[in-house]
Homo-oligomer: A and B are copies of this chain.
Amino acid sequence: MIHSAKLEPQRYGIAMPAKSGEMLFLEGDPCEHVYELRAGVARGISVSVEGDRQVAAFFFAGDQIGLPVTETYRFTAEAVTDLLYVRHSRRCWHEALIRSCREDGRLLSSIWAEQDPIFRRGIILGCNGVLVRLCALLSSIMDRLAVTSDGSLFLPLPQVDMAAYLATTPESVCRALRRLREQMIITMPRRDQIKIIDRERLEAFAGGVARQTGPAFL
């Protein structure tokens, strides 16, 4: 409790790897660590008793997962792509939080940052029309996707996951993407790449749902 910020130095900066599909933590597990994503994409999923999977949020490099540090994790976290992450112990994280709080009174921005995508998904799901929801999703993540050499974006999310996020079916996601292609709003040079041709119309379709919501990092 009185340790300095250099607690667990052996862990600091040492990113651990995870393979695509691997689980980071399970919903309901005691919440002992905050996971900081260094590279790759992860998903937070919630499984109903019937076995239906929902993707509650996608996480990208720089995001912290597992906040706020309380009793248990609210969702299961899995790697979408291969990824690198760092685990911070609950205690460490608390200390950093208090310090940051005293310094600038903005301690909670990292908490805000994790809650935000979850909140946004709720708003996206409230929109009717698969096309609208898909555009909202794309708008909300396009600034976080890696850029390829030819200016496209690397889109590592399989359509199955997008469907689980948007509360629809993979078929509907596929058809919605096709419509965006036909309308020349996007192109998809490869299966896992997307190029935003007409960002304005994309956001117009999204219905303003994906407006910028503010600063995101600790």
Contacts of A187 in B (CB 8 A): none
A49 interface neighbour in B102, B105, B128, B207, Cβ under 8 Å = B207
User: What is the CB-to-nearest-CB distance from A170 to chain B, in angstroms, rounded to a whole number?
Assistant: 14
Contacts of A112 in B (CB 8 A): 68, 70-71
- How far is A72 from B106 in the complex, measured between Cα atoms in Å? 12
Copies in the assembly, this chain: 2
Contacts of A91 in B (CB 8 A): 105
CB of A97 within 8 A of CB of B106, answer no
Interface contacts beyond A56-B119, A122-B122: sample of 13 additional A-B pairs, CB < 8 Å, sorted by A: A48-B123, A49-B211, A54-B123, A56-B123, A70-B106, A71-B109, A71-B214, A115-B115, A118-B118, A118-B122, A121-B122, A125-B125, A126-B167
- What are the 10 A-B residue pairs with the smallest beta carbon separation, nearest first? A49-B208, A68-B108, A125-B125, A54-B126, A122-B122, A126-B167, A70-B112, A68-B111, A48-B208, A121-B122
